[in-house]
Amino acid sequence: MLAVSLTLLVQDFVNGIFLGGVFALLGIGVVLIYKSSGVLNFAHGAMAMFSTWVYFQVDRSLGLPVVLSLAIAVAFGASLGAGVYLVVFRRMRDSGLLAKVIAALAIAGFLQGAAAFIWRNTTQARPPQQFPAGSLALGDVGLGWQQIGAVLLTLAVAVGVIQLVKRTTFGVALRATAQNRTAAKLLGVQENRVAATAWAIGGGLAALAGALVIPLSALTVYSMTGYMVRGFVAAVVGGFVSLPAALIGGFGLGIAQETLLATPLASLSRVFAGLAVAVLLLLRVERFFALDQELRALEEAG
Amino acid sequence: MTPEAAVVPPLGGEIISAPGPAVAVVLGEPPRSRRGLLGAAVGFLVVAAGPPLLLDGVWNATLALAAVYGLMGLSMVVLTGYVGQLSLMPATFVGVGAFASADLVSRLATPFWVAVPLAALVTVPVALVIGIVALRLKGLYLAIMTLVFADVLQEFLFKQSWFAGEGGSVDAPRPFLAGIDFKSDKVYYFLVVIVAMVFVVLVRNFSRSRSARACYAVRDNESTAQALGINVAKYKLMAFALHGFIAGFAGALFAHWQWSVSAGGQRPQFGLEFSLTLVFFTILGGVRSIWGPFVGAAIWVVLVQRLLAGSPNGQNIALSIFGLLVLGTMLYRPAGLVGVATDAMRRLRAGRAS
Amino acid sequence: MISRTRTPRAAIVAFSMAIAVLLPSCALFQPRRVAINSQVTQTLPPLPVSTGRVPSSSTVAPRTIFVPGKGGRTGKVNYASAPGVTAGEIKIGIIVPMDGPAAELGRPLYRTTQAYVNVLNARGGINGRKVRLFLQTACINCEAEVLLAAKALVEQKGVFAVVNAYMNTYSFGAAMKYLNEKKVPLIQGWTGVGEESVTWSNAQTPWSVYYTIRNDEAVGIWVDWMSTVNAKWQAAGKLPNPQHPYWVGTVALDVSQDRRRSIEFKKVWESKGADHKVVSQQYVAAEEEAITRMDSFIAAMKDAKANAVFSASNITMVFGMQAAARQTWKVPWVSKSAWGRAATDNCGPPCDGGYTDNNGWGWAGVDTPQMRQYLAAMRAYYPDGVKYADAQTLGGWIGMMAFEYAATQLGADLTRKDLIDVLGNLKGFDTGVGAQINTSPTDHLGMGQFMMLQICNNAFYRVSDWLSPGGAMKRVSSKGDCGWGY
C-alpha cells in the first residue's frame, strides 16, 4: 500500500514523541554519568529495569497511591545509581575504557540475574500506569493519557535537570570536572561527591523512564535494554557532553523511528537508531557541542 | 626479545610473555631445551588424545564446545587484546560463519572441508565493513556502534530466509572422511582441538611479529602511534579481518558441532547475550593472553553450564558468582586469570631463586 | 630480564585456581533440593466415583479411558529390557530451565512431572518397576547447552526416554535431532515444538510425540468460532463496521511460527466466502518497544475497518486488548491458546471477553476423576495450591499419563521401539483431562479438538465442549461472557 494513512502517521508520531521522551530521559542520565565519571553506563538499562521491578513490587505489596510508589521507585533508582558508583566506579577513575565498559556490563548482568531470581515466580508483571487508562480521541487518532502525561512529565523533569546543571554549584562542579579534572580538583571540587550525585540523578531518571514506559509494554529482565541503546544514541547527538542536545536527540530519534513505520520505509524503523548513530559519529557531531577542553578530555578518555 | 612494555593502564601493567619452547620449535627457532620440547609434546598429546581415550562422549562434546568457544574468544584477543578495539558484537560474526558454513554444506552441497574455511573467509568482508566504520571512531563510540550494528545485522541478515533458512534454522551435517565418521563426539573433539591448536600457533606467531608490535602501539596510544608513522588504519583493518576470520571459523565449527544452527525466535541466538558471554569469559581468562579465552571458556562451559546442570538451583548461583568474578577481574586483576597465574608463578620462581 | 613464563602452564594453573574457588562455593551454597514431599502420597484422597456428565471429547464411546492407577497389567517383571530399564527401575529424563527468566515456566513443569512420578511410585510403579526422573537444566535460549543436556541424559544417565522437555521451539532443534538420531522416545506433553513447522515434521521426528492440537485443525475451529461470534455481534448491532461483518484483522509476533499461523488463518478465513476478508495483518517485532506500538496496530485495524481480531499468540492478545481498551475499540478477539497465567495475572478489564482455546488440555472447567486426581497432586506439592495448575503443567501431566499407559501395556518387554509404537498409534485415548488422542505415523500430535475459553475478571471460563473443525460451534455456558453477550 503506497498511500500513507494520515491516521496511522499521526498515531505513530504520537507514539514517537512518547518513546522519544523515554530515550531523552535515559540519554540525559547517560550524559550526566559520563561527564562526571567517564563511564559509559552499559548498566543503565538494567538499573532502569530493576527499579521498575521495585516500582511494581511496591505497588503490589503496599498498595500505596501510584505517585508514592513512583517516588519510592525513583528514590531507589537514585540510591542504586549512587551505590554502583561508590562501590565500583569510584575505584576505577583511572582505569581505561575497556575496564569501565566491562565492569558496567558485568553489573548489568548481575542486576538481570538478581531480578530473575527475586521475581522468578511472577508472571506478566504489569506495573501501574501513572496517568489514567483510556485515551483522548482526536478524530480517528487516540492519544493515550499515559502517553500525554509521560511526555509532559518528561519535559518538565528534563528541563529541570538541565537548569540544575546550568545554575547550581553541583552543575558548575560537574562541568568543571568534565573539562579539566586536575584543575577542578585543585579548585576544590570533590569529584566523588559530584560523581555520586550525577549517578544518583542518572539512576533516578532511569527509574522514571522505566516506570513511565513499561506499563504500556512488558516487564521482563530484558526490558529497557533496547531503550538504553536508544538512550546512547540520544547521548551521542550531544557528543556526550551536552544535555539539551541529548534531550532534543532523544525526542528526534523517537519521532523519526516511529513515524517511519507509517511510511513505505517501515522496515528501516528497526535499524534507524543504528543508521542514525553511524551518520552522527561519522559526521563527528560531537564537535558541534563540545567546548575545546571538553573535547580534549573526551578524546583522552576514549 | 619480549616487549616487556611498561604498559600504562587501560589494563594495568601486564607483561606479554615470551613463548615457550614448543612454540619456538614450530616457529623455526632452536628449542631452548629438550625437556621443554618433550613437555610441550606431552601437553599437546594429553589435551588432544586424553579426552577421546579417557572420557565419555558427553564430556568430549562438552570439551569440544569449550574449545570452540575458546576459539571465539581468541578472535576477541586479536581485536581487543592486541589492537585495543572494543567490539561488542563478536557473536554476530560467529553467527555469520555458522550460517555460511551450514548453508554451504546443506544447501549448496559443498564439502565440509571446503565449507568451513570458506565460511570464515565470507565473514571477513562483513568484519571489514565494521572495520572501515571503526576507522573513524574511538573507544566509546566504537563500542556503541558495534552494539547498534549487531542489531542491524540481526535484522537484515539473520531474519532473511535466504541466509537463515526457512524456519529460521539450517542443518549443518558432519563430514565422513576416509572411513572416519565425524558424527562421533570423540572424533569431532579431536578435530576441533587440532584446529584450535593451529590457530593458537598462528596467533602466537602473529603476536611476536613486527605487525603485532605496531598493533600494540596503536592499542596503547593511537595518536602517538600515528606520530611514529604507523599506518593505524591498516592495522585496525587487519585486526578486524583476523577477528572476522577466526570468529567465522569458530562459528562454522560450532554449527557442525550442533548439527544445525538456528537464528532464534523471540530472542536471537547470536545477539547481545551471546556476545556478552564471549566478552565476559574472555576477560575473565585474560584478554591479552592466547590461553585466556580457553581458560574462560572452559570455566563457562564446564563449571557453570555442565557440572551444575543436574541441580535444581545450582546454576543461578554459579552465574552470579561468574558475574562477580568478571567484575572482580576488572577491578583488581585486569589481566585476567592467566595474568594472576603468571604473576603467581613468577613470584614462586623468584622465591625459589632467592 | 627476559621472562620465560610458559603461558600454557599458566593457563592450567589459572584453571585450577578457578576450580578451587568455584567448586567449594557451589558446595557451600548447595541449596535445598526442590522440596517434594513424598509422604503426601499417603494422604491423597481416593479417586472419587464419577458422577454426572463428563464432557468426553469423543462422539463415539472412546476405546480407552485412562485413569492412572486403574487397569493395565500388574505383576512383576524381572529383567532389563532396554537401555534405562532394569528389573526394578525405569529411568526417564527431563530438560527444563530452572533458572533465569524462564524459571517460572520450567520449575512448575519439573515439579509436576516429579509429582506424577512420586504418585506413580507410591502405587507400585509400572509393573513393579519404579520410575526415576533425572533433571537437566539449561537456559531456555541456549541451543548448545540444551543439546549437551540431552546427551547427558541419554549417554551419561542412560535414560530410557525423555519427557516434557520445555524449551522454546528455536532452541530445541538440535536436541530434538539428536534424540531422533539416537532413537530415544521424546514425549512432550507440553509442546514448544512440533507444530508441523518446516524443521520438525513428523517424518523427521518419528521418535517424538507431542499431544497437542494440530495447527491445521485449530485454524478451522478458530475460523468457525469467529464467524459465529461475528454473526451474533452483527445481530446485536455491536460491530463497528456492520456493512462488512466478516472483515477481520490478525496480529502476530514477527517470528516464523506465529507468522505462519497468521497466514494460515487468512487462507482459511477467506476460503469461507467472498465476504470473508482479512483486511489487516499486523506483525509485532519480538521486542519490548514494539509493544508500545500496539496502539498503532489497533489504529491500523480500525482504519482498515476490521470487525474482529485473530491473535496468533497470547502475548499479542494480552497487549493488543490492552491497547484496544485504550483506544476504546471493542471487537471480538480470538487467540491461539493463552498459557494460563499470562492473561489472568495482570490484564484486568481490558482482557474481559477475549476468547482463547485450551490447546486440547482441559485446564479450565473440566471435572472428571482424573482432573481431581491432578488437582489433588498439585495441591499436595505446591505451596500455592493449584495456582500452578495450568496449561503447561496439565500438558506435562497428560504426557506422563500417556507414558504410564503405554509402558504398563508393554509389560516386561518394555523397549524404546515398542513404546514409541504405542504412543504414536493411540486410538481414542481419552485421558479425561484433555482432548482424545489419535496418533498415527503421519500425525504425532494427535489431538483434533479443543475447548473454547473466555476470559472474565482475570479468570478463564469454559464456554464450549470439545469443538472439532467443521462441527457445531455451540456455546454451553453464559458464565464468562462478561457482559459481551456472546
Burial of A147 (0-12, 13-18, 19+ CB in 10 A): buried
Nearest residue of B to residue C315 by CA position? B266
Q: What is the total residue count of chain A?
A: 302
Q: What is the reported pLDDT for C9?
A: 61
Confirm if B308 and B315 have CB atoms less than 8 A apart.
yes
C459, three cell numbers: 479468570
In CATH, what is the architecture of C215-358+451-462?
3-Layer(aba) Sandwich (3.40)
> Which residues of chain C make contact with A125, given a CB cutoff of 8 A?
345-346
State chain A's mean pLDDT as an integer.
87
Subunit contact A125:C346, Cβ cutoff 8 A: yes
Of the pLDDT bands very low, low, confident and very high (cuts 50, 70, 90), residue B77 is very high
Residue B125 belongs to domain spanning: 10-353
Asked if residue B5 belongs to a domain, the reply is no
Asked if residue B4 belongs to a domain, the reply is no
Confirm if C206 and C181 have CB atoms less than 8 A apart.
no
C255-270 tens-digit pLDDT: 878 888 999 999 999 9
Subunit contact C318:A18, Cβ cutoff 8 A: no
Instruction: Report whether pLDDT(C196) > 60.
Output: no
Instruction: Report whether pLDDT(C47) > 50.
Output: no
Of the pLDDT bands very low, low, confident and very high (cuts 50, 70, 90), residue A19 is very high
3-state secondary structure chain A: CCCCCHHHHHHHHHHHHHHHHHHHHHHHHHHHHHHHHCCCCCCHHHHHHHHHHHHHHHHHHHCCCHHHHHHHHHHHHHHHHHHHHHHCHHHHCCCCHHHHHHHHHHHHHHHHHHHHHHCCCCCCCCCCCCCCCCEEEECCEEEEHHHHHHHHHHHHHHHHHHHHHHHCHHHHHHHHHHHCHHHHHHCCCCHHHHHHHHHHHHHHHHHHHHHHHHHHCCCCCCCCHHHHHHHHHHHHHCCCCCHHHHHHHHHHHHHHHHHHHHCCCHHHHHHHHHHHHHHHHHCCCHHHHCCHHHHHHHHHHC
Nearest residue of C to residue B298 by CA position? C15
- Greater confidence (C163 vs B309) lies with C163
- Amino acid identity of C2? I
For residue C82, give the DSSP letter: B
Which residues lie across from C135 on neighbouring strands?
Answer: C94
Q: Is C29 helix (H, G, I), strand (E, B) or coil?
A: coil
Asked if residue B295 belongs to a domain, the reply is yes
Of the pLDDT bands very low, low, confident and very high (cuts 50, 70, 90), residue A123 is low
Name the CATH topology of C37-213+364-430. Rossmann fold (3.40.50)
Q: Does B352 touch chain C (CB under 8 A)?
A: no
The alpha carbon of residue A258 and the mean position of all alpha carbons in its chain are separated, in whole angstroms, by: 18
pTM strictly above 0.80: yes
A72-103 tens-digit pLDDT: 999 999 999 999 999 999 988 888 888 898 89
User: Lowest-confidence range among A35-44, C198-207, C460-469?
Assistant: C198-207
User: Lowest-confidence range among A121-130, A218-227, B139-148, B216-225?
Assistant: A121-130
Q: Does B196 touch chain C (CB under 8 A)?
A: no
Asked if residue B3 belongs to a domain, the reply is no
- Greater confidence (C415 vs C36) lies with C415
- Interface probe for A, chosen from C289, C318, C322 (most Cβ of A below 10 Å), is C289
- Greater confidence (B28 vs C383) lies with C383
Q: Does C240 touch chain A (CB under 8 A)?
A: no
Nearest residue of C to residue B316 by CA position? C99
Q: Can you tell me the mean pLDDT for C97-118?
A: 84
Asked if residue B207 belongs to a domain, the reply is yes
Q: Does B183 touch chain A (CB under 8 A)?
A: no
- Greater confidence (A28 vs C78) lies with A28
Q: Is the ipTM of this complex over 0.85?
A: yes
Q: Are C37-213+364-430 and C215-358+451-462 the same fold in CATH?
A: yes
Angstrom distances, CA of residue B306 to CA of A120, B62, B67:
22, 8, 14
Q: Can you tell me the mean pLDDT for C296-306?
A: 89
Shortest distance between the Cα of B206 and any Cα of chain A, in A, equals 23
Subunit contact C7:B258, Cβ cutoff 8 A: no
Subunit contact C15:B337, Cβ cutoff 8 A: yes
Q: At what angle do helices A191-213 and A145-167 cross, to 10 degrees?
A: 170
* CATH number of the domain where residue B200 is located: 1.10.3470
Total of domains in chain B:
1
Asked if residue B112 belongs to a domain, the reply is yes
Q: What is the reported pLDDT for C133?
A: 96
Asked if residue B213 belongs to a domain, the reply is yes
C-contacting residues of A 133-172, CB under 8 Å?
Answer: 133-135, 137, 140-142, 144, 146
Subunit contact B320:A110, Cβ cutoff 8 A: yes
Instruction: Report whether pLDDT(B63) > 90.
Output: yes
Q: What is the reported pLDDT for B19?
A: 38
Instruction: Report whether pLDDT(C191) > 70.
Output: no
Q: Does C342 touch chain A (CB under 8 A)?
A: yes
Asked if residue B313 belongs to a domain, the reply is yes
State chain C's mean pLDDT as an integer.
81
Instruction: Kindly list the domain boundaries of chain C, sorted by start residue.
Output: 37-213+364-430, 215-358+451-462
User: Lowest-confidence range among B15-29, B311-325, B328-342, C65-79?
Assistant: B15-29
Q: Does C361 touch chain A (CB under 8 A)?
A: no
